Amino acid sequence: MYIQAKLATLDTVKLYLADDHQILIDGLIAFFNTFSDIEVVGHANDGVTLLREIQTRNPNIILLDLNMPKLDGIKTLQRLQKDYPYIRVIVLSNYNQSQIIKEARDSGAKGYVLKNGSKDELIEAIETVKNGGMYFKEGGPSPLPSETTTFSDDFTQQYQLTKREIEIIRLICKELTTRQIADKLFIAEFTVNTHRKNILRKLNVKNSAGVINFATQHGLA
C-alpha cells in the first residue's frame, strides 16, 4: 500500500536494469510489473550490452550494478554521464563502503541503494531521482571494520593508509595483476581498482612504479 501510494504522483518511469545476476533481474522485473507507473524497457548482464541498447530502449532511469563483466559499473556510469547525461542512474549494489559510494556519486550517479535494503527504499530512490533529486543516505556508511587503520607506524598514519591498502601495496610489489589481487583477497576487481586509485592519491604517485618505490623506501616491499 505504501509503495503504490508513493508512485501515484509520478509520470511513467522507463526503467532499464543492469546486473550480472539474471535471477535478480527477473525478480525486479516481476516486482516493477506490479506498478502501472513503471515500465521496464530492457535489461542487461553487462555494461557493454547496456551501452549498445541504450539508444533503442530510451530509458529515463537506469538501475546499475557496479560489479559486472566486460565493463564494470563505474566505467559504464562514466560513459553514460558523458554520452547520455539526461539519463538518471541509480546504483543498486552490495558495496557498503563510503569511498565506493563517493566514487559512484562523483561519476554521475543520482542515487545509491544497497541490495539488502527494502523495496520501499528502492521505490523512494526512484521517485526522488525521477523528480530531479538525489538519493544518498546522509553521512554514508563507514569503511568496513577490516579496513580501518590498525598500524602504529608513523608513515601509515601520515598517509592514512588502511590495512587493506597495505595488503594491496604489498601485492602490487609482487607484480600481481588486478584480477590476481582480487582472487587472492576474495574481493571484486572493481574494489581492487578503487583501492588502487585511493593508494595513488594518498601517496601522490602516478602509477605502480611509484607505489613500488614508496613501498621499498618504507620496508613494505
Domain boundary among 96, 130, 164: 130
The answer to whether residues 10 and 93 belong to one domain is yes
57 part of a folded domain = yes
Number of domains in the chain: 2
The answer to whether residues 149 and 72 belong to one domain is no
List the CATH number of the domain containing 56.
3.40.50.2300
Domain boundary among 130, 163, 183: 130
Distance CA 41, CA 117 (A): 23
The answer to whether residues 53 and 155 belong to one domain is no
Q: Are 141 and 101 in contact (CB under 8 A)?
A: yes
What local confidence, expressed as pLDDT, does residue 96 receive?
A: 80
What local confidence, expressed as pLDDT, does residue 23 receive?
A: 92
What local confidence, expressed as pLDDT, does residue 154 receive?
A: 52
Digitized pLDDT (tens) for each residue of the chain, 221 residues in all: 444 444 444 468 999 999 989 999 999 999 999 988 899 999 999 999 999 999 899 999 999 998 888 888 888 999 999 999 999 999 998 888 777 888 889 899 999 999 888 889 999 999 999 988 899 975 444 333 334 333 435 555 677 888 888 889 989 988 899 999 988 888 888 889 999 999 998 888 888 888 888 887 777 76
The answer to whether residues 126 and 149 belong to one domain is no
100 part of a folded domain = yes
Domain boundary among 95, 130, 165: 130
Rounded (10°) CA dihedral 96, 202, 199, 221:
-140
What local confidence, expressed as pLDDT, does residue 87 receive?
A: 94
What are the angstrom distances between the C-alpha of 10 and each of 16, 20, 159?
A: 17, 28, 47
Find the domain containing 158 and state its range.
145-217
For the entire predicted model, the pTM comes to: 0.64
What local confidence, expressed as pLDDT, does residue 156 receive?
A: 59
The answer to whether residues 124 and 161 belong to one domain is no
136 part of a folded domain = no
List the CATH number of the domain containing 166.
1.10.10.10
Distance CA 129, CA 161 (A): 35
137 part of a folded domain = no
Residue by residue, DSSP assigns 159-178 as TT--HHHHHHHHHHHTT--H
